[in-house]
A and B are shown apart, each in its own frame.
Chain A
Amino acid sequence: MSEHTQDTQDTQGSSANQATPGSDNSGSSANQATQGSDNNSGNVNQASQGSGNNGSGSANQNNPIETLDPKLAAQVAVELGLTPEEYENVVATQGRVPSLTELYIYSLMWSEHCSYKHSKKQLRMFSSEGDHVLQGPGENAGVISVGDGWAVAFKMESHNHPSAIEPFEGAATGVGGIIRDIFTMGARPIACLDSLRFGTLDKPRQRYLFDGAVAGISSYGNCLGVPTVGGEVYFEETYEGNCLINAMAIGLMREEELTRAVGSGPGNFVVLIGSSTGRDGIGGASVLASQEFDEAAENKRPAVQVGDPFEEKLLIEVCLELLKRGIFVALGDLGAAGLTSSASEMASRGGVGIDIDVRAVVQREENMQPFEIMVSESQERMLAVVRPEDYAAVAEACARWGVACSHIGLITDTGRFVVRDSALPAGFEVVADMPAEMLANSAPEYDPEMKRPEYLDAVQTIDLSFVHTTELATLRGDEQNYAAALTALLASPNICSRAWIWRQYDHQVQNNTVVLPGADAAVLRIGDTGRGEMSIRGIAASTDCNGRYCYLDPYVGAQIALAEGMRNLACVGAKPAAITDCLNFGNPEKPEVFYTFHKAISGLSTACKHYNIPVISGNVSFYNESFGNAIYPTPAIGIVGTIDDISCVTTAAFKQAGDTIILVGETLDEMGGSEYLKLHFGMVAGAVPALDLDLERDVQDCVCDAVRAGLLSSAHDCSEGGFAVALAESCIAGNLGAEIALDDDLPPAASLFAETQSRIVVSLAEEKVETFLDLLAERRVPYSVLGEVGGERLIIKDKLDVPLNDAPDGSFAGISSVYQESLEAQVSQR
Chain B
Amino acid sequence: MAACNFGVVVFPGSNCEQDVLYALRFLGHEATPVWHQETNLDSYDALVLPGGFSYGDYLRCGAVARFSPVMEALIRYAKAGRPVLGICNGFQILTEAQLLPGALIRNAKLKFICENAPVRVEKSVCKWLDLAPGTVLNVPINHGEGNFICDEPTLDALNSGEQVVLRYCEPAGAPVANATTGAVQAANATTGTVQVVNKAVQAANATTGVAQASSRVAQASSRVAQAAAGELGGFATNGSLDDIAGICNKAGNVFGLMPHPERVVDGVSGGTDGAPFFSAIISYAREVAGK
Question: Do residues B270 and A516 form an inter-chain contact, with CB atoms below 8 A?
Answer: yes
Residues of A within 8 A of B20 (CB): 530
Question: Do residues B216 and A202 form an inter-chain contact, with CB atoms below 8 A?
Answer: yes
Q: Does any Cβ of A come within 8 Å of B160's Cβ?
A: no
Residues of B within 8 A of A509 (CB): 15-16, 19, 142, 263
Q: Does any Cβ of A come within 8 Å of B115's Cβ?
A: yes
Query: Which of A224, A311, A681, A829 is the one whose CB lies under 8 Å from B217?
Result: A829
Segment with Cβ contacts to A, from B51-59, B120-128, B242-250:
B51-59
Q: What residue of chain A has the Cβ atom nearest to residue B17's Cβ?
A: A530
Q: Does any Cβ of B come within 8 Å of A506's Cβ?
A: yes
> Shortest beta-carbon distance, A400 to chain B, in Å?
8
Query: Which of A222, A313, A472, A490 is the one whose CB lies under 8 Å from B203?
Result: A490
> Shortest beta-carbon distance, B113 to chain A, in Å?
6
Question: Do residues B15 and A488 form an inter-chain contact, with CB atoms below 8 A?
Answer: no
Q: Interface size for chain A: under 10, 10 to 19, 20 to 34, or 35 or more residues? A: 35 or more
Question: Do residues A313 and B262 form an inter-chain contact, with CB atoms below 8 A?
Answer: no
Query: Once the chains are docked, how many angstroms separate the CA of A225 from the CA of B208?
Result: 46
Q: What residue of chain B has the Cβ atom nearest to residue A806's Cβ?
A: B199
Residues of B within 8 A of A488 (CB): 203-204, 206-207, 210, 213
Question: Do residues B15 and A484 form an inter-chain contact, with CB atoms below 8 A?
Answer: no
Residue from B15, B144, B200 with most neighbouring chain A CB atoms (10 Å):
B200
Q: Does any Cβ of B come within 8 Å of A511's Cβ?
A: yes
Q: What residue of chain B has the Cβ atom nearest to residue A517's Cβ?
A: B114
Query: Which of B15, B140, B265, B268 is the one whose CB lies under 8 Å from A514?
Result: B268
- Residue pairs across A and B with Cβ atoms less than 8 A apart, 14 shown, are A219-B112, A223-B13, A223-B15, A225-B15, A313-B12, A491-B204, A491-B213, A509-B15, A509-B19, A529-B18, A679-B210, A680-B207, A829-B217, A830-B220
Query: Once the chains are docked, how many angstroms separate the CA of A308 from the CA of B57?
Result: 11
Question: Do residues A487 and B207 form an inter-chain contact, with CB atoms below 8 A?
Answer: yes
Question: Do residues A223 and B53 form an inter-chain contact, with CB atoms below 8 A?
Answer: yes
Q: What residue of chain B has the Cβ atom nearest to residue A309's Cβ?
A: B56
Question: Do residues A310 and B19 form an inter-chain contact, with CB atoms below 8 A?
Answer: no
Residue from B113, B114, B115, B142 with most neighbouring chain A CB atoms (10 Å):
B114
> Shortest beta-carbon distance, A118 to chain B, in Å?
38
Question: Do residues B270 and A826 form an inter-chain contact, with CB atoms below 8 A?
Answer: no
Q: Does any Cβ of B come within 8 Å of A503's Cβ?
A: yes
Question: Do residues B269 and A222 form an inter-chain contact, with CB atoms below 8 A?
Answer: no
Question: Do residues B199 and A513 form an inter-chain contact, with CB atoms below 8 A?
Answer: no
Question: Do residues A828 and B220 form an inter-chain contact, with CB atoms below 8 A?
Answer: yes
Segment with Cβ contacts to B, from A28-36, A704-712, A817-825:
A817-825
Residues of A within 8 A of B113 (CB): 503-504
Residues of A within 8 A of B269 (CB): 508, 511-514, 525
Residues of B within 8 A of A491 (CB): 200, 203-204, 213
Q: Does any Cβ of B come within 8 Å of A510's Cβ?
A: yes
Query: Once the chains are docked, how many angstroms separate the CA of A624 from the CA of B172?
Result: 50
Query: Which of B52, B57, B142, B206 is the one whose CB lies under 8 Å from A508?
Result: B142
Residue from B15, B193, B270 with most neighbouring chain A CB atoms (10 Å):
B15
Q: Does any Cβ of A come within 8 Å of B38's Cβ?
A: no
Count of chain B residues near A, Cβ 8 A: 59
Query: Once the chains are docked, how many angstroms separate the CA of A223 from the CA of B198?
Result: 36
Question: Do residues B114 and A507 form an inter-chain contact, with CB atoms below 8 A?
Answer: yes
Q: What residue of chain A has the Cβ atom nearest to residue B18's Cβ?
A: A530
Interface residues of B in 255-279 (CB under 8 A from A): 260, 262-263, 265-266, 268-270
Query: Once the chains are docked, how many angstroms separate the CA of A828 from the CA of B142?
Result: 22
Query: Which of A530, A680, A806, A817 is the one whose CB lies under 8 Å from B19?
Result: A530
Q: Does any Cβ of A come within 8 Å of B166's Cβ?
A: no
Residues of B within 8 A of A328 (CB): none
Interface residues of B in 1-15 (CB under 8 A from A): 12-13, 15
Residues of B within 8 A of A745 (CB): none
Query: Once the chains are docked, how many angstroms separate the CA of A507 from the CA of B142?
Result: 9
Q: Does any Cβ of B come within 8 Å of A813's Cβ?
A: yes
Interface residues of B in 161-192 (CB under 8 A from A): none
Interface residues of A in 522-538 (CB under 8 A from B): 525, 529-531, 534
Q: Does any Cβ of A come within 8 Å of B23's Cβ?
A: yes
Question: Do residues A825 and B270 form an inter-chain contact, with CB atoms below 8 A?
Answer: no
Given contacts A202-B216, A821-B199, 19 further A-B pairs with CB under 8 A are: A218-B112, A222-B114, A223-B56, A314-B12, A401-B12, A472-B207, A484-B207, A488-B203, A488-B204, A488-B206, A491-B200, A503-B114, A506-B112, A511-B265, A530-B18, A534-B22, A818-B203, A825-B217, A826-B216
Known: A509-B15, A510-B19. A308 touches B56 (CB 8 A): yes
Q: Does any Cβ of B come within 8 Å of A471's Cβ?
A: yes
Question: Do residues A487 and B13 form an inter-chain contact, with CB atoms below 8 A?
Answer: no
Residues of B within 8 A of A818 (CB): 199-200, 202-203
Residue from B18, B113, B263 with most neighbouring chain A CB atoms (10 Å):
B18
Question: Do residues B111 and A504 form an inter-chain contact, with CB atoms below 8 A?
Answer: yes
> Shortest beta-carbon distance, B57 to chain A, in Å?
8
Residue from B195, B210, B217, B269 with most neighbouring chain A CB atoms (10 Å):
B269
Residues of B within 8 A of A310 (CB): 12-13, 53, 55-58
Q: Does any Cβ of B come within 8 Å of A578's Cβ?
A: no
Q: Does any Cβ of B come within 8 Å of A613's Cβ?
A: no
Residues of B within 8 A of A679 (CB): 209-210, 213
Q: Does any Cβ of B come within 8 Å of A485's Cβ?
A: yes
Query: Once the chains are docked, how many angstroms separate the CA of A679 from the CA of B204?
Result: 10
> Shortest beta-carbon distance, B204 to chain A, in Å?
6
Q: What residue of chain B has the Cβ atom nearest to residue A214's Cβ?
A: B111
> Which 3 pairs of residues, A with B, have the shortest CB-CB distance?
A225-B15, A530-B18, A829-B220
Question: Do residues B22 and A810 form an inter-chain contact, with CB atoms below 8 A?
Answer: no
Interface residues of B in 223-253 (CB under 8 A from A): 223-224, 226-227
Question: Do residues B266 and A511 form an inter-chain contact, with CB atoms below 8 A?
Answer: yes
Residues of A within 8 A of B154 (CB): none
Query: Which of A472, A646, A817 is the one whose CB lies under 8 Å from B199?
Result: A817
Residues of A within 8 A of B223 (CB): 829-830
Question: Do residues B196 and A825 form an inter-chain contact, with CB atoms below 8 A?
Answer: yes
Q: Does any Cβ of A come within 8 Å of B135's Cβ?
A: no
Query: Once the chains are docked, how many angstroms separate the CA of A503 from the CA of B266?
Result: 22
Residues of A within 8 A of B198 (CB): 813
Q: Does any Cβ of B come within 8 Å of A594's Cβ?
A: no
Q: Does any Cβ of B come within 8 Å of A402's Cβ?
A: yes
Q: Does any Cβ of B come within 8 Å of A505's Cβ?
A: yes
Query: Once the chains are docked, how many angstroms separate the CA of A310 from the CA of B55?
Result: 7
Q: Does any Cβ of A come within 8 Å of B212's Cβ?
A: yes
Q: What residue of chain B has the Cβ atom nearest to residue A218's Cβ?
A: B112
Question: Do residues B263 and A508 form an inter-chain contact, with CB atoms below 8 A?
Answer: yes
Residues of A within 8 A of B202 (CB): 487, 812-813, 818
Residues of A within 8 A of B204 (CB): 488, 491
Query: Which of A472, A508, A828 is the one whose CB lies under 8 Å from B208?
Result: A472
Q: What residue of chain A has the Cβ atom nearest to residue B197's Cβ?
A: A825
Q: Does any Cβ of B come within 8 Å of A483's Cβ?
A: yes
Question: Do residues A525 and B200 form an inter-chain contact, with CB atoms below 8 A?
Answer: no
> Shortest beta-carbon distance, B58 to chain A, in Å?
7
Q: What residue of chain B has the Cβ atom nearest to residue A200's Cβ?
A: B216
Question: Do residues B52 and A487 form an inter-chain contact, with CB atoms below 8 A?
Answer: no
Residues of B within 8 A of A202 (CB): 212, 216
Residues of A within 8 A of B16 (CB): 225, 509
> Shortest beta-carbon distance, A739 to chain B, in Å?
21
Question: Do residues A484 and B206 form an inter-chain contact, with CB atoms below 8 A?
Answer: yes
Residues of A within 8 A of B213 (CB): 488, 491, 679
Q: Mark A786-830, 1 if CB is under 8 A from B, else 0.
A: 000000000000000000001000101100011001101110111
